[in-house]
Chains A and B, each alone.
Chain A
């Protein structure tokens, strides 16, 4: 099963939904897409607009490949699930987002070896057919950041 997600952005992301729909039609593979607030819905895939975070994580953990927009929430969740991961940035020129900042996140994902950035949607079928490996470990430096913030908080109230 391939899991696709467009996130909670108010703008539509038909490029991704149509590409996944074409893959479902061509290969017959089971694909589930989170379609969010957009109007585009697939013809050959299962889909839903929103589910609870727990339900979404459960679906993602079962997926052979996760293909999602490169929003910070979706990327973080996908990395947590530790499945082969393709990040497809929403682009300003297709009116999928207000800026091109998702390209930065997708490229960072690829640079860190966490997954692959799909900058040209034509690359998606091949990437789904032979997805990147899941890295051996993923340990974000969360506790370090929390400790650094806490240190500053304590210092503020000690003065």
Chain B
């Protein structure tokens, strides 16, 4: 496996709707090398280059393991950017990524219309760019959040 490519992007998301949203955003990454960090599932085994981890959210041991897995990947892949569409799986990757000085962008899930997700609340403080998909949600997050278009909303 080629490692340490200077144009590498780490895409982190869980395997359901969050993955659907990431795949819809793929045109934004054209021309750059990408790899996924996801839960191991039917949908994620079909992805090309992907690090798959056990699907055990809300499990502190697995959370700690993901911190170590993320650290290993930051060292070998050396991504310049992490893109997150949530959910919880993005938290350890974002924490480790920031420690390694990797830039981070989070796109809040379209399912969050007027309340913030737990992942969003954590990543709000870590992300270099933070996008929401409904203008209504701007009021809930602080001034760092931006509405710049949406996969579902028209405004």
A: residues with CB less than 8 A from B are 8, 71-73, 75-76, 79, 101-102, 104-105, 107-108, 112, 138-150, 152-153, 156-157
Given A105-B110, A156-B80, 15 additional A-B pairs, CB 8 A: A8-B16, A72-B111, A79-B152, A101-B111, A101-B115, A140-B152, A141-B150, A141-B155, A144-B149, A145-B148, A149-B131, A153-B32, A153-B81, A157-B32, A157-B81
Interface assignment of B96: CB less than 8 Å from any CB of chain A: no
CB neighbours (8 Å) of A142 from chain B are 24, 149-151
The interface residues of chain B, by DSSP majority, are classed as loop
Complex interface: chain A residues within 8 A of B131 (CB): 145, 148-149
Q: B112 to A76, Cβ gap below 8 A?
A: no
Question: Closest Cβ of chain A: how far from B88's Cβ, in Å?
Answer: 13
Interface residue? B92 (CB, 8 A)? no
Residues of A within 8 A of B83 (CB): 149, 153
A-B CB contact pairs (8 Å), 18 listed: A72-B17, A72-B20, A72-B21, A72-B110, A75-B152, A101-B115, A104-B115, A105-B110, A139-B154, A144-B149, A144-B150, A145-B151, A146-B149, A148-B149, A149-B105, A149-B131, A150-B29, A153-B81
List chain B residues, Cβ under 8 A from A104.
Answer: 111-115
**Is residue B103 within 8 Å, beta carbon to beta carbon, of the partner chain?**
yes
